[in-house]
Amino acid sequence: MEASSKFIARTALAGWLGELSARFRVWAPRREGRAVLYRPFDPQAPEDNLPELDKKPTESAKHIIFPRSEPLINFRRKRDPEHPGQFLLDLRVPEAPGPSLIFGLPPCDARGFMVFDPVYNGSGTDGQARDIYYLRRRAAALLIVRSCSRTLSTCFCNWVGGAPDSAEGADILASEAEDGFLLEPVSSEGAAALDSGLLVPADENRLKAAQAARDEAKKTLKPAPDISGAGKALLERFEDAAFWKGEAAHCLSCGICTFLCPTCYCFNVTDETAGANGVRLRSWDACMTPLFTLEASGHNPRQDKAARLKNRIGHKFSYYPELHEARFACVGCGRCIKSCPSGVDIRRIVTDSVGLTQSPKPKAAPRNIPGGKE
Ligand code: SF4
Ligand code: SF4
């Protein structure tokens, strides 16, 4: 891999992203107020929207491949010429979007898509349908992951098989190296994207500088506890209402944890109409809100927040790994911890469940604003 690694100076980054914009819709993290959000890169004004690479994005990158809301089918009602008084529906599936490139996502966000993949390509459960909308966006996306040069107190990727310099799911791994970035191709598509006159072959000094920066970042993570027994422990806790009531005591059911999570993939489907025209929309949904499981009869199998929290944690650490080759449906990005307005900490719930801690619950809600002070 090192033989074909390239180096790009910080000063040439905007130019390279501009070049790539001719082939891809390029997305990169950008600071907006106190938040860092993934935004389209504007090749017409490259210096005005340089990527923010020093601060972890507030949101995950999932909305680029799994939009917050997307049309599945457009439809139009028209009269049936052969049967007066009856109507026909014209149906149209929207065209596939063009290729996209996400630059500068942290390793946990790339690993998040690997949690989505088996769900949407129909593996793991017999007879499950393949989701063309997700799969065609995913196949046309190139991921340039930047290894983390530091970690936050909320990061715990090392608990769940990740690392600050993980290349899993990446097409290119970018690492800080002195005055620019070392770019290591991980896939053939990534290698092709490195074919640019703005890049130079990586020399020995830069390879060493990048490795040193990555080693330093890893040292900033606390050692991971052994949570390999979490799946079984959570199942054993299934009927322990007092445990779940205690863990969920501070939850406000706001759903922020699910919307910011790179691995939460639930959605709702609605039909919106205006006159004879309509659209079937798929929109994100959140299992932490009471409406998620409210049935038409008025019955709600997850009426209380303890049941909802139990489902979310159980799904990520027990049910999903059982279906999908033991991979946890959590990549340890820590966004749900950092942005929860009432201080619910998924790490504490998991370690409580396996009996590693019985830590006290937070006394008061901390002032914890998305994108706020780290
Ligand atoms: S972000 Fe916190 S308060 Fe909001 S639903 Fe999630 S756990 Fe509950
Ligand atoms: S559950 Fe929390 S820590 Fe895990 S991937 Fe989702 S947002 Fe990140």
All structural domains of the chain with their residue ranges: 2-63+95-219, 230-353
Q: Which residues of the chain have pLDDT under 50?
A: 1-3, 363-374
Q: Which protein residue has the closest C-alpha to ligand 2 atom 4?
A: 330
- Give the position, in ligand 2's atom list, of the atom nearest the Cα of 108: 5
Residue 264: left (phi > 0), alpha (psi -120 to 50), or beta?
A: beta
**The pLDDT value given to residue 326:** 75
**Ligand 2 center to 213 CA (angstroms):** 25
| Ligand 2 close to Cβ of residue 311 (< 6 A) | no
Separation of CA 264 and ligand 1 centre (Å): 14
pTM of the full structure:
0.91
288 lines ligand 2 (CB under 6 A): no
Nearest Cα residue to atom 4 of ligand 1: 254
Residue 234 CB less than 6 A away from ligand 2: no
Evaluate: CB of 57 within 6 angstroms of ligand 2: no
- Is the shortest distance between the CB of 344 and ligand 1 below 6 Å? yes
Q: What is the pLDDT of residue 94?
A: 95
